[in-house]
Amino acid sequence: MNMEGYLANHDNRPIGNGRSGAEIWEIEEKYVLKHIRKANLPDAGAFPLYCNEAYFYRFWGQQTGGAPSFLPKVLEVQATDDEIFILMKRYQELSRAEADDRLLRKIMGTLAMIHTQDIPAFLRQEQRPPEYLAREQIESCLAGWRSVLAEHPGAFDERILADTAADINELIGWHHEEPQVLTHGDFHWENLLRRENGDIVVCDWQGVGAGDASGDISFFVSRLGADGTGIEPRKAAEIYCQERLALTGERIESGDLVKHMEAANVIVSFRFWHEYLHGSSRERVGGIYEKMRTE
């Protein structure tokens, strides 16, 4: 696709770019054009993830039955070794003001649909062993969290951090036993859109792959909580299990799912969240830190 020529021949306005390196335009108020140039990415190692997204859309476009309802309608996909173009239909964004039980059920039902799809062959891989943390990694996470907690002297019980560091690899090993499903990998509010009939559409599939259901659910709940919209994890898990049962007849115990969600929260919080919490309020730090508290 000749980007300059295409934009010159269609009404357009830029609606996104920046840290991810992707350029996004609204086309004629009806479509969205996503352009990724490998040379423009802050991290060239992210380009294969954008390729996965392009191949995922292309895979479903080639299926006789068409794409699942949770995917946007994609009109064109072009992918080379250096550049990707994705042209898709434009959808309405979800408003946080609409976040009620009915919408949560729709979202969890959509996630259940994702998790029960077959994993495309190009995404399948032999399950790797648990990603245990080396002593150096644990020490790095400890140092990162201590620097965050030091910004709020005396506000938090540091025994939580010490206990998490001592048990983290045992927890990683247990959590690794959860069955693998097709996962979105970046399931959060800003990646959810709405069709004219009210159905949920999910965009930004760079993180698609084989993973665990609790990871998608846990990340969704965690991101909402960090942004000030609280959803009880157990409630989200129960609704998810109800929707999955209705969809496939498969019965999953919500208590088991919650335990895996809690494990995922501990692991993600310990490993990564300290990188994003410097300068945050005591309340926001506490909301993440308390997720590492285990009985």
Question: In three state form, how does the secondary structure of 2-63 look?
Answer: CHHHHHHCCCEEEEECCCCCCEEEEECCCEEEEEEEHHHCCCHHHHHHHHHHHHHHHHHHCC
Please state the rounded mean pLDDT for residues 139-166: 96
Same domain, 76 and 171: no
Among 24, 59, 90, give the residue marking a domain's end: 90
Same domain, 47 and 128: no
Among 90, 124, 147, give the residue marking a domain's end: 90
pLDDT tens, 243-294?
Answer: 999 999 999 999 999 999 889 889 989 999 999 999 999 999 998 898 898 7
Q: What is the pTM of this model?
A: 0.84
Banded pLDDT at 295 (limits 50, 70, 90) = low
Q: Which residue intervals of the chain are DSSP H helices?
A: 3-8, 47-61, 101-115, 135-149, 159-175, 213-226, 233-248, 254-271, 282-289
Same domain, 67 and 123: no
Same domain, 53 and 167: no
Same domain, 69 and 110: no
- CATH code of residue 35: 3.30.200.20
Give per-residue burial for 27-51: e unless 16+ CB within 10 Å, then b. beeebbbbbbbbeebeeeebbebbb
- Our count of domains for the chain comes to 2
Same domain, 112 and 151: yes
Same domain, 83 and 155: no
Q: What residue has token string 């068409």?
A: 66
pLDDT tens, 164-218?
Answer: 999 999 999 999 999 999 999 999 999 999 999 999 999 999 999 999 999 899 8
Name the residue range of residue 26's domain.
3-90
pLDDT tens, 23-45?
Answer: 999 999 999 999 999 998 988 88
pLDDT computed for residue 17 by the predictor: 61
